[in-house]
Structure 1
């Protein structure tokens, strides 16, 4: 029980302590949110089982994301989703691969693998590949796979035409169309026969074909053209480089002209390539080549004359040096014999120069001594005169004292 002396103090809470509250009512806990209803939002009914089966065992790599959408053979948009099963058909295609399509796909993959292993075998001499197998072993395995594919004899089973059609369906369409037209012409030349049951007779002897347009094929063609254009531009950039002289030579004709003038100039250049113009230009070039040959012959004759004069001058110099070359060893021997004498003469000349310097120093010192001697004589004479004067004055004083 609380102390009664604190009961009437202000600011004291006298209410009982509560440590647990009651639960809220059911109406307060369940709140129904209003559903969003808008015409711009489309509600789709998705089957969870189908979605689970479709995206089961699928992966999405977020480390190699590229949204640049550049033109190239490989797709460079979005995320990278690796596949576990590769087929010729597109994703989402309902039909399965035919045996011919599967054969072509395997043959193409084995060919690509062989090219990659061949490059690896050329670059890596002793290093092993990423899977720990040497390139030679991989090439043997690839040859075994190719033999297994050839052992299926798919051409004998399905026929050459089916294999060619599966390999190049777009290229085989014209041939197939021409074969059908030839067959129709032969049937048209034969006498008419009553139509069989279950067949429809063509109207006025015409053949009707249905052409289907594939947007993905057109898109692939456009992308391939863009890739080819990009490859050609890269080739031009690699050929021209960053040299401003080459770029200036290419843009010299069109830099200061309009588009029509540039086109007209190109047309004039193309017109020069006509047969008559080419023959005329060839004749002029032949005449120019003959003149160039004559000029080169005259130039060679002049150069030969100059070379002959230089050679004759060199020959005369060599003739002069022949007489000198005979006496040159004797001169060398004499110089070697006189080497000691020349060294002694050099030492004697050095000693003479030192003596000359000493003599000059002595003469200068003698001159200074002469001047000092003259000054000493003059000082002695002056002192003697002063002494005599002092003596005379002293004698005169002595005489005066005696008197």
Structure 2
């Protein structure tokens, strides 16, 4: 057996083991052995799953079901939120019953009592000041004792006057709203569509003027004029309808006359129809034969052209052959003549 061509190459070890052992793990087991990242720009936060679970387990996430303060709440949502908060307070109070809660309740009671005393003192001081002012005013009026003067005493209740003013304003607003609804200014009212379409985007004054003008037109004199005009219009419409009916009748008679003329002509020409049909049939046959003959002529012409082309080609080929034969015969004659001359020379 011949030696391998790679036997004595340089940089190849010979006489050593082919398998080497290493302490490295396979690639499947190397996934969990990741080296820690050492970088100043990356902050590593130590975390533990057990500690995180214990910190977040005590949290109450029921507040997430309550609508946020920034969103606009309805009365039902507010009621549900307050109910949930009251239940939370009850649960917290029941869970946190002890001496601290009792002390807080006592402190709150003392604070409320102090606030009530302060408020009562302020009210008493204000009422005493008012009484003193009234007494001083009455003393001044008593000191001015002139019998020629007439005294008027007015008893006005500002709260009642304010309520009365609000009632009047509300009454006026209701009347204005009713007028706007009748005139069609309020877009939400769809009952008066006719007025909405006619008086849209107009002021109340202009609408009232237009309505007054229309009411004036409904007087007796204006109604009589309108009645007379309507009678004249109806008469004209009747005349137009009569003329239209007469014109329609004339058109119908003309069309009937034309149809009768056509019928008479067809009756007169009815006897000649079989002959015409036979002639038309013969003409169609002749046309078919003519078409076939024209197609055959076209085929013949195409064949003639092909034959003519082939004849021309053959004539050209014959001319070429003749020329070749002549040249070859001349060459052969010349060769024979040269051969004869050489033979004569050899004989001599």
Question: What TM-score do you get using the length of structure 1 for normalisation?
Answer: 0.35
Higher Rg: 2
Bigger fraction of residues in helix: 2
Which structure ranks higher in relative contact order (CA pairs < 8 Å, sequence separation ≥ 6)? 1
